[in-house]
Structure 1
């Protein structure tokens, strides 16, 4: 099961880890996690969230990384190799592999619209135009498809993404993540430290860390904790798998997966430690989530607290880094697939995917919310489930254990394979069903 075509590769272990962390740290950490912590009881929400992070990080993340490395390819060839191993033909696997690839492209296109808004708000925070806005209505008018000037920023975000990707994995994606991912954490840590000094912030910290055990009896706490953990770790059968395909055989994948899950969780907690105390300083309740929180309510609150204009600059610069690292990851699977299927040079593949991203992105900007809902409710869980079934069920136990334990001094315990095959696949199916029945849970 080897894809022989020479592939680009990571230059270092930490380059790969930072790229995976960058792909996982996205808007879900920033505009959704703090709101759910606020709504579902602070530490009460953290307990089930951490449980699901451990389950998914120690099975699904490891599986997608190992599957990519084993086949040295993206989802199309990886799924094809799995069905060839079991059934003697790669055609069904290749067809199924197109699902997570197209899903990654669709999600990336929707994400490019959001990235355009972030570029716009970052520029406005630097010039002071954002701080000059007054009231929720003013921020609403500044935001969304009906606001003027968003399309240019959307194209600018895509241009930066295309430029990073055109340089390749080692010289482009890795180097960009080595700069942007650490800066994201440093900027958010700086914001969190500053907010500690402001009067009223202690109420926010108290809320985050106070446990209300009765809240654990609420099934919705567990449902939304599952959705938050699942989507935050970027399990979708595409991005993590394709990044894993650039790994060398001497990489300890379970160790790398642990670091990715740890830092993704830290990013989510940092966002909560910034946003919830900021609302407390302003004497506001965190009752909003999603794009409205980040582009309407939060900026309106931040501009009125001490140091607000500077906080807005730091906040949106950090969010730009999170958006770009995630967007690069989402576009990588379709780009690599074009290279694999049509033997295109990387600049040509990046150019084609970038043109599709810009063209379709401009068209779907007015309906991006509905577009993203379809991706998160259906396409991402289906891609993750297909990848899990292909690796853990179709490839078989011996193959799986050989790949995940490659380069490890101590093999994973006997718990790993049944936990991955049954519990993780079951959890992924549950995410799909719950999302279809109740709407987006992530």
Structure 2
């Protein structure tokens, strides 16, 4: 078996873990999910879940990864026994599926940044009959989308093939600080825009009556976003923790990762919603995954300095997307290295090529984006996280506590409290979320996807 690498520095590990969530969970997904949840009302519930559910859950993945020093399949096999390797396989499949369509989405950000280089967003929208949604629908599929999907996957494979220290760690040490600086600059600029105040009110002034009336919808949505934004249930944190030394304080590292990650998500809202209100777009949450392109392109067309602001924003997200993509490819690459002894560059190229092929249909029709995204996000991700919580919380809790104590010291009642947080609230949230996700996916398969098949086959 190939010699296993480790992180060169604690900073490298933290930035890699933060970078995993920045593009995938925060800058692309967080704004439209927050809009669907009613702005500040969703934000309050989301922050509660991050603190009460996200922190215990990330520690569960950390202890399994560091104790076993393996990829998700090998880790769960060693930690729980032979039957659990199949659960580890779910993590591998989840990362595989998510990256296949995420690469296409990353290509969209590159394309929209390129549009800012070529001219004003107002002129671009005008060339599509003044309809930013038509512009998105046109640019999201076709030859250009296919080419950018190809370019993005080549970049991702190249970084992962270089290894932990020379590839991933080196890349995130540049990308993550750059993302934070760029978002801070964009937030300051957004603050100066006329009409931005309405966006701040929508985002920062919660109506607790809305929370009371809509908690049934808000709870699973906030829970799903909390897991998604922290890259939980994808095998990323298991894999990254497998490269950690035994003397590391996992609770301290987990707290820093959650703090940075949540701060970046919050900062993204301080950019997106003021820009939307400045562009007189006060009805967020209707456009789903394409909303950030449709709504913000229209806003950039309306506000002063919108061409440069849009170019900077979309370029920032493209960088963030790359930091997420390398973490997902590392999950499946580490599986090939650990379980089959494949050389790193061959594993990265082979797995990356297969992932790339799975994503190609998304460049043809966006119905395949929904097909893959709903399956991975609503079912695979949640089921994997649920099974890991059962393993750590109920089957081998003492092993988890023992591993967490390394680098910290004896936990006592705190360790017991952590285990019970995994055993009860986290499992309940995941069971409810999984049920709702299965219902939604079945509805999609029998509705939109069945209709597409009837029309096209």
Does the pair score TM above 0.5?
yes
Question: What is the Cα deviation at residue 238 of structure 1?
Answer: 0.7
2:415 maps to 1:417: no
Are 2:343 and 1:345 aligned?
yes
**Residue 93 of structure 2 is aligned to residue 102 of structure 1:** yes
| RMSD value, Cα | 2.0
| Alignment correspondent of 1:241 | 238
**1:74, CA displacement in angstroms?**
0.9
- TM-score, scaled to structure 2: 0.89
Cα deviations by residue, 1:266-310 (Å, 9 ceiling, x for unpaired) = 121111111111111112213334332122221122122111011
Output one character per residue of 1:399-422: Cα deviation in whole Å (capped at 9) or x when no partner.
111111210146271311111222
**1:141 deviation in Å?**
4.6
Out of 154, 157, 162, the residue aligned to residue 149 of structure 2 is 154
Shift in CA distance, 80/39, structure 1 to aligned 2, threshold 3 Å = closer
Residue 305 (structure 2) pairs with residue 310 (structure 1):
no
Q: Distance in 2 between matches of 1:34 and 1:371?
A: 21
Q: 1:295 — aligned with what?
A: 293
1:139 to 132, 135, 138: 135
Alignment of 1:170-319 (within 5 A): 170-217=165-212, 218-219=214-215, 220-287=217-284, 288-319=286-317
Asked if structure 1 preserves the Cα contact closer than 8 Å seen for 2:44 and 2:206, the reply is: no
Task: Kindly provide the CA deviation profile for residues 154-209 of structure 1, in whole angstroms up to 9, marking residues without a partner as x.
Answer: 11101110111011011111111111111111111111101111211112112222
Among residues 318, 324, 327, which one is paired with 2:325 in the alignment? Answer: 327
CA drift at 1:423: 2.2
Gaps of 5+ in 1: 85-89
CA distance in 1, matches of 2:34, 2:353: 38
Change (3 A) 1:376 1:298: same
Unmatched 5+ stretches in structure 2: 443-457
- After superposition, the Cα gap between the structure-2 partners of 1:98 and 1:32, relative to the gap in structure 1 and judged at 3 Å, is closer
Note if contact 1:143-1:295 (Cα within 8 Å) is conserved in structure 2.
no
Q: Which runs of 4+ in 1 moved over 4 A?
A: none
- Whether the 8 Å CA contact 2:94–2:380 is kept in 1: the answer is yes
Paired residues in the alignment total: 429
Work out whether residues 220 and 432 of structure 2, in 8 Å CA contact, stay in contact via their aligned partners in 1. Answer: no
Q: What SS class does the counterpart of residue 302 from structure 2 fall into?
A: coil
- 2:448 corresponds in structure 1 to none
- Render the CA deviation track for 1:330-351: whole Å, top value 9, x for unaligned: 1111111111121011011011
* Bigger shift: residues 109-118 or 28-37: 28-37
Match of 1:87 in 2: none
Name the SS of the counterpart of 1:285 in structure 2. Answer: coil
Deviation readout 1:68-113 (Å, 9 max, x if unpaired): 00000011111111233xxxxx3x2223321211121111111111
